[in-house]
């Protein structure tokens, strides 16, 4: 309503657990992209993953670097932290190591979820750039997507004093 009138009551669509909610498309790496329908009940899995795998806590400030057009960006960049009541940040400025580290420092990110490709790109930028920023508020790092090589995990331990946890659909593991 554009007249400033307050709505006291509204009808809610009568959805059920299996009612379609989100339609994601695959990347098409094995053929044409295919639609993958998610239902409302998927929210339970997204909540649980945020709480127990991403280890989201009430006081966290969370950043998932995945584009919201991808399943990770929607499910675990938006829906999971919302379901857990977590403050989340979004950066829309393209990738540079300096921009990312400045963003983490400025917003006091505590939980950071990123793709292996991005982590390897940060690693290529070197260790010295990391020292320009106070990233001591980081408490949990996670990665998903393609495999994350052991060197990148060891590098994260060296520069952040935390290892990126590799999320593979199995229980959390640290390399």
The DSSP result for 137-155, as a single string, is T--EEEE-SSPPPHHHHHH
Q: What is the mean pLDDT of residues 38-64?
A: 95
Structure confidence at residue 170 (pLDDT): 45
Give phi and psi for 36, each to the nearest 5.
-120, 110
- pLDDT surpasses 90 at 68: no
Residues 6+ apart with CB under 8 A from 156: 119, 141, 162, 163, 164
Q: Region 66-77: what's the mean pLDDT? A: 87
Tokens of 124: 């290529």
Token pair 């052991």 in the structure block, residue: 150
- At residue 171's C-alpha, the angle toward residues 137 and 169, to 5°, is 100
Lowest mean pLDDT among 14-23, 67-76, 111-120, 157-166: 67-76
Rounded to two decimals, what is the model's pTM? Answer: 0.84
Instruction: List the structure tokens of 126.
Output: 């070197």
User: If pLDDT is split at 50, 70 and 90, which confidence band does 36 have?
Assistant: confident
Question: Can you tell me the distance from the alpha carbon of 64 to that of 53, in angstroms, rounded to the nearest whole number?
Answer: 14
Q: What is the pLDDT of residues 101-134, one digit of tens each?
A: 999 999 999 999 999 999 999 999 999 999 999 9
**pLDDT band with cut points at 50, 70 and 90 for residue 72:** confident
Backbone angles phi, psi at 111, to 5 degrees: -125, 125
Domain boundaries, the chain: 53-166
CATH number of 53-166: 3.40.50.980
């Amino acid at each position: 309503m554009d007249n400033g009138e307050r709505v006291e009551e509204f009808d809610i669509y009568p959805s059920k657990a299996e009612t379609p909610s989100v339609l994601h498309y695959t990347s098409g790496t094995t053929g044409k992209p295919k639609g993958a329908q998610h239902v409302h009940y998927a929210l339970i899995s997204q909540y649980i993953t945020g709480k127990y795998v991403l280890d989201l806590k009430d006081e966290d400030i969370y950043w998932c670097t995945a584009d919201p057009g991808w399943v990770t960006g929607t499910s675990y960049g938006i829906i999971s932290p919302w379901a857990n009541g977590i403050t989340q940040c979004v950066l829309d400025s393209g990738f540079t190591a300096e921009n990312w580290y400045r963003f983490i420092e400025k917003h006091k990110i505590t939980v950071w979820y990123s793709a292996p490709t991005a982590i390897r790109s940060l690693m290529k930028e070197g260790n010295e750039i990391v020292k320009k920023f106070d990233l001591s508020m980081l408490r949990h790092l996670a990665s998903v997507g393609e495999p994350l090589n052991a060197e990148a995990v060891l590098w994260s331990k060296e520069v952040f004093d935390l290892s990126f946890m590799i999320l593979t659909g199995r229980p959390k593991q640290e390399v």
